């Protein structure tokens, strides 16, 4: 499973909309500024989330984006699958099950990939945006220590095989 930069931006924006859920629509430039995200890229991400009915937009002076559903009804698995595709190391769960059945020599390897996919899916399917607001975080809080323009995400890459840094 690989979470892209786009996926991280989408999750960050949705977390911000979750924190400000009761405040109504938030302007793109405010989301971009508060989360240190590129505004033009964020616009495309929010449009994709709108088309998937995760957020909705409001026009006018008080316009912007807001969550379409309550944060406790939006699962991380839904967002990641939308933005980054399947959760399996390659293909999808059905493809892996087929490989397990057909390729006896590598069955154990494909089973490990399926187990990784299933474990990640279980966590992501059982975690909502609301959960992210209440989950304890290990280590010191560094949210407010970043400087303007400094990256606010660390890429999360889980490779199924091969060398680090290659797809």
Q: Which of 42, 22, 40 is nearest to 31 (CA)?
A: 42
Which helix (H) or strand (E) is 55 found in, with range?
strand 55-58
Encode the chain (167 residues) as per-residue pLDDT tens digits.
678 999 999 999 999 999 999 998 999 999 999 999 999 899 999 999 999 999 999 998 888 999 999 999 999 999 999 999 877 666 678 888 999 999 999 999 989 988 988 898 899 999 999 999 987 767 665 554 444 444 444 445 544 444 444 43
Q: Which of 75, 70, 85 is nearest to 11 (CA)?
A: 75
Backbone dihedral angles phi then psi of residue 33, each to the nearest 5 degrees: -65, -50
Angle, alpha carbons 152-68-125 (nearest 5°): 65
Structure tokens at 26: 């938030």
Global pTM? Answer: 0.74
């Amino acid at each position: 499973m690989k979470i892209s930069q786009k996926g991280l931006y989408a999750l960050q924006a949705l977390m911000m909309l979750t924190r400000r859920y009761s405040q109504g629509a938030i302007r793109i430039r405010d989301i971009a500024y508060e989360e240190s995200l590129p505004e033009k890229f964020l616009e495309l991400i929010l449009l994709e989330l709108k088309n998937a009915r995760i957020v909705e937009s409001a026009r006018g002076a008080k316009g912007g984006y807001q969550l379409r559903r309550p944060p406790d009804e939006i699962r991380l698995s839904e967002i990641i699958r939308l933005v980054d595709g399947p959760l399996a190391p390659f293909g999808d769960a059905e493809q892996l099950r087929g490989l397990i059945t057909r390729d006896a020599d590598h069955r154990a390897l494909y089973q490990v990939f399926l187990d990784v996919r299933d474990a990640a899916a279980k966590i992501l399917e059982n975690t909502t945006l609301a959960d992210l607001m209440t989950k304890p975080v290990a280590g010191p809080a560094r949210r407010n220590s970043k400087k303007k323009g400094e990256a606010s995400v660390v890429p999360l890459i889980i490779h199924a095989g091969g060398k680090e840094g290659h797809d």
